[in-house]
Amino acid sequence: DTEVTQTPKHLVMGMTNKKSLKCEQHMGHRAMYWYKQKAKKPPELMFVYSYEKLSINESVPSRFSPECPNSSLLNLHLHALQPEDSALYLCASSIRQGPTEAFFGQGTRLTVV
Amino acid sequence: TQLLEQSPQFLSIQEGENLTVYCNSSSVFSSLQWYRQEPGEGPVLLVTVVTGGEVKKLKRLTFQFGDARKDSSLHITAAQPGDTGLYLCAGESNAGNMLTFGGGTRLMVKP
């Protein structure tokens, strides 16, 4: 199994809503990542978890709250988002944290209205 | 953060043509990766180059890592519409031992 699975694939939420994005991998990878990608731009790193501990937070606003319940799961909790937060949110995993090969999920297309 | 610059940013060609995409930096990388991303999907890893001067081939795609490990190129021979997508190079960031992406090259191959 070399897949990273993200749910939901699409999400529309209001600015007062609370929602969560989910990511799962069963490759035994110990590093998991959240990226944000705007249209026609490269992915931008948001958070890194290494061995289930938050390793890097790239100065992401607190309305985005990551969670790593176990080594296979990664969540991104969303609250009070702004329309400019609309983007493709990508989850990725790698064997370990670092510039190693990363496997990406299909992403969640988020629209904030 | 080490800066990776990709060129061209956008390329539109006819089926059957050849093309080269470049990924350049002023810094040395321990390795470089190339990904392809189709609209609405996540990036898919194509190749990792590690050794200076290394050349790797993946069917019609040829990847090269510069001798000084500061740049890389992707050459596609006889492009096909299925090659259409966003091509991203990625390398190690100075900050936090992380992967950083180049700006991407958007390729469109017309039938």
Per-chain mean pLDDT for chain B: 91
Would you call B43 and A43 a contact, using CB atoms and an 8 Å cutoff? yes
Q: Which residues contact B55 (CB under 8 A, 6 or more apart)?
A: B62, B63, B64, B65
Distance from CA of B85 to the nearest CA of A (A): 11
Determine the longest span between alpha carbons in chain B, in angstroms. 43
Q: Which two tokens stand for residue A13?
A: 């939420």
Judge whether residue B95 has pLDDT over 80: no
| Percent of chain B residues past pLDDT 70, beyond the cut | 94
| Percent of chain B residues past pLDDT 90, beyond the cut | 77
- pLDDT per residue, tens digit, chain A (113 aa), is 669 999 999 999 999 999 999 999 999 999 999 999 999 899 999 999 999 999 989 899 999 999 999 999 999 999 999 999 999 999 999 998 877 788 999 999 999 99
The span from the CA of A102 to the CA of A91, in Å, is 10
Tell me the mean pLDDT in the region B8-25. 97
For residue A83, the SS3 value is helix
Chain A residue closest to B30 (CA)? A99
Q: Cα B36 from chain centroid?
A: 8
CB B70, CB B26: distance < 8 Å = yes
Of residues A113, A2, A102, A86, the one with CA closest to residue A45 = A102
Question: Smallest Cβ distance to B92: which of A90, A99, A103?
Answer: A99
The span from the CA of B110 to the CA of B37, in Å, is 17
Pairing verdict, β A53-57 and A4-7: unpaired
Between B51 and B92, the more confident residue is B51
Pairing verdict, β B105-110 and B10-14: parallel
pLDDT score for B96:
54
